[in-house]
């Protein structure tokens, strides 16, 4: 089974800073990789699908890149509402363990 690893576990940053989140697959998943944001008490929200495509309504400060086994979610300038947990997902099923982005 293909396992996803996310790093770091927690990222402490200030509003306005750049966030770089990593997701690594144990075997290639091509570009079948998605990113989600989950705020406390809310369901997840799709941010990025097919590794680099922004979902409907997602601001352009969110971008995704990568293919094969190494993927990156970048938030160019953190807004207050971006402090949340971020999950990657491969092949439309298994999720990574998540990265929490909290306020420094």
Q: Which residues bind another protein (CB under 8 A)?
A: 32-34, 36, 38, 43-46, 49-50, 55-56, 87, 89, 91-98
- Residue 22's DSSP bridge partners are 7, 72
Round to whole Å and give the CA distance between 46 and 55: 6
To another protein, the closest distance from the beta carbon of 35 in angstroms equals 9
Centre a 10 Å sphere on the Cβ of residue 92 and count the other Cβ atoms it contains: 9
For another protein, the closer CB: 12 or 91:
91
Q: Which is nearer to another protein, 83 or 87 (CB)?
A: 87
Minimal distance, residue 16 CB to another protein, in Å: 28
Cβ nearer to another protein, comparing 17 with 54: 54
Residue 82 DSSP label = G
For the bound state, the minimum distance from the C-beta of residue 87 to another protein, rounded and expressed in Å, comes to 6
Contacts of 47 (CB under 8 A, 6+ apart): 34, 35, 36, 37, 54, 55, 58, 62, 64, 73, 86
In the complex, least distance from residue 19 CB atom to another protein, rounded to whole angstroms: 19
């Amino acid at each position: 089974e293909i396992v996803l690893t996310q790093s770091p576990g927690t990222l402490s940053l200030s509003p306005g800073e750049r966030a770089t989140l990593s997701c690594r697959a144990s075997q290639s998943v091509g570009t079948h990789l998605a990113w989600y944001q989950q705020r406390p008490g809310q369901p997840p929200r799709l941010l990025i699908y097919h590794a680099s495509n922004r979902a409907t309504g997602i601001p352009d400060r969110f971008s995704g890149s990568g293919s094969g086994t190494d993927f990156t979610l970048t938030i160019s300038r953190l807004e207050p509402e971006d402090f949340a947990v971020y999950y990657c997902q491969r092949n439309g099923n298994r999720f990574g363990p998540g990265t929490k982005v909290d306020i420094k």
